[in-house]
Structure 1
Amino acid sequence: MTENKIRTIVVDDEPLARRGLRARLERHEDVEVVAECQNGVDAVNAITQHRPDLVFLDIQMPGLNGFQVIHKLRELQQPVPMIVFVTAYDSYAIKAFDVHALDYLLKPADDTRLKAALDKVREYFSTQYQDEQSRKLVNLVAELTGDDCEEILRKLAKGEPVDTNPYPDVLAIKDGSEVTRVNVKDIQWIDAAGDYMCVHALDGMHIMRKTMKELEQELNPQWFVRVHRSAIANIRFVKKLVSHISGEYHLILQNDTELKVSRSHRDKVKAAMKM
């Protein structure tokens, strides 16, 4: 904040909605609208340039939607300002935001609801709660970003059940006439053997016929990282990353299995290990 002004950006793909919200915001002396954006790409650029304190962010926009805007800022390692979501969805979606303690405006926003949202923003800035709000925002984005977030929002609007985790908890591995269910959390690493994948789990090794690319897409990238053209490791089972004099890197798992890290995947492995 500068000179007790809350520097604000309004993001909405509807021109009338942007103008209406800006006009209402300008009635508040401690709010300064520094930019308006008509799509998610412009929003990312404006937030990066202006470093606002607050963004009124429409959810459903062409290109990047509201959740993807925040995800992109995280990718670019840009600070995420305080967010007030603007949505046309009904109470089912609103309940989802309430659970995460984020504020929202339901279109069309009225003066009373806008004042309540701004009062909450002022309270955040006058306390130490902004760090907590940022963490909850990141958690929400982690759940609702990606290709399926529009479908998730549609389900919320209709009151349909939503599974925000797109990755399975169990892999069903078929072997002849038998199917073995392997808990994904128990998978330590996976390596390729010709046209087959060797899935090394806590209960032993399982063979499945699937490509490395297909299997990689099924596994949560938060935990599973490609370390080589023919190997994937579960970061939760990694004990250490070792660099050799030759310049090669190897992952050492908790059971002392050693996996070579290829040059093309080295930076991704380091990032996964928070190095």
Structure 2
Amino acid sequence: MNLMICDDQKSELENMGQIVSEYALTHSELSLTVKCFLNPFDMLDEMGKSGVPDIVLLDICMPGILGTEVAREILSKREGDTDIIFLTTSPDFAVEAFALHAGDYLTKPYTKQRLTDALDRLIEKRRNRLYIPVSCGKEIHRIDLFNVLYAEAKNHSVEIHLKSRKCLKTHTTLKEFKNIFQTANGFVAVGASYIVNLRCVQSLLETTLEMSNGDRIPVPRRLRGELKKQYFDFYTREATEK
């Protein structure tokens, strides 16, 4: 597992580096490698050479660029395979950070325990991810089911809409996709044309579901009551488990 840290304050960077290095020693099974950067552009250059890491610890307020902008660049590289923990002195960017599906948002000063708890949760989440191969013409893409917003049957194919705003088209039928999604919690069929990730539903409207990217999914009248129940049951389970 690879982790990168970026903070323009040297003392903060050294503190994070020390905490994560100690974490790596006590979790040797992860084979965790850590790289530290004072400059976000240097970090992005390194990603261009060695690929995006599994986890990034990222300051938000840095000279010349916000950490949220850096996060968008990182997440655009590989269908959101990187989990990001934001660290900042200001709570003002929390809404924007979580709109980017941040793994966590820590305000400075934070404790060592707070940071290690955040790492524990993210790593456990990564262990529980379900990856599937999707054939798109001559290409095969490996996607994380939890990065799927929704899938739509359209023109004799299935369009898979991802959190990264990419859309993959495959000739796999929606019925075959339903069989795959049955292994993952939080996915429901909406009518004959859609499978939706409930984690990415922004609002339950009268006749539609509004997704976190602004797309709206039509909900047949006969399914509205049951879908509302599934939505609330899912989040009740999520809250109980946490």
Give the number of the structure with larger relative contact order, counting CA–CA contacts within 8 Å between residues 6 or more apart: 2
| Max Rg structure | 1
Q: Sort the TM-score into its range (normalised by shorter chain).
A: 0.3 to 0.5
TM-score (norm 1): 0.41
TM-score (norm 2): 0.46
